Amino acid sequence: MAKLYFYYASMNAGKSTNLLQADFNYRERGMRTVLFTAAIDDRFAAGKITSRIGLDTPALAFDRATDLAAAVLASGADAPACVLVDEAQFLTTGQVDQLATLADAHGIPVLAYGLRTDFLGNLFEGSARLLAIADSLIEIKSVCACGRKATMNLRVDAAGKAVAAGAQTEIGGNDLYIALCRRHFSEKLAQAS
């Protein structure tokens, strides 16, 4: 039975690197994959999954209107061996349900990778649905500057000061976000309020 997996972590934990490694493993064995990434994240290039260590590969870009199941089922004569989704936090509830249908009704494993929470510690829509219905939840570990496990994403301004208000989504990397343990996240966010 195919499963829906959710690999989640804070910023800079290696989610995209893990996804690219999983994709490579399938393709190395001659298996076809379908990759998706959020159209909103075009930091490196639109329709490309890029890791901080320099790996990248083309992917289908999705937005809130994309029917992921239809795109997968139309992608080739035979079903792919696996579907991999980067930036899964940007999925809608309906899109996560489509991914579950691919696993349940079509026997296609789906590996979704994304953030659990935003810069204020709130769940993203896609992450909330994945946490609710995924068959397997896997946390990818990252480390706070204090040495504890980093679970939170602090948004910072150009001066490195914590940001406590703003839109849920602002695309950026190390220039805008710092992965912290809950204690240090709470302290810095309280200072910014």
**14 annotated ligand-binding residue:** yes
**122 annotated ligand-binding residue:** no
28 is catalytic: no
Amino acid residing at 84: L
**142 annotated ligand-binding residue:** no
**127 annotated ligand-binding residue:** no
**82 annotated ligand-binding residue:** no
**168 annotated ligand-binding residue:** no
Write down the residue that tokens 């953030």 correspond to: 115
Please report the DSSP string for 53-100 in residue order.
Answer: TS-EEE-EEE-TT--HHHHHHTS-SS--SEEEESSGGG--HHHHHHHH
**106 annotated ligand-binding residue:** no
Q: State the alpha helices, DSSP H only, in the chain.
A: 15-28, 68-73, 93-106, 125-133, 182-192
**184 annotated ligand-binding residue:** yes
Q: Which strands sit side by side in the sheet containing 60-62, from one edge to the other?
A: 60-62, 33-38, 82-85, 110-115, 4-9, 136-139
- DSSP state at residue 128: H
Query: Do residues 83 and 102 make contact, with C-beta atoms less than 8 angstroms apart?
Result: yes
Catalytic residue from among 28, 87, 170, 187 = 87
**9 annotated ligand-binding residue:** yes
**193 annotated ligand-binding residue:** no
Helix pair angle (93-106, 125-133), 10° resolution: 30
Residues annotated catalytic, as ranges: 87
List residues forming the annotated binding site.
Answer: 9-16, 86-89, 144, 146, 181, 184
List residues forming the annotated binding site for Zn(2+).
Answer: 144, 146, 181, 184
List residues forming the annotated binding site for ATP.
Answer: 9-16, 86-89
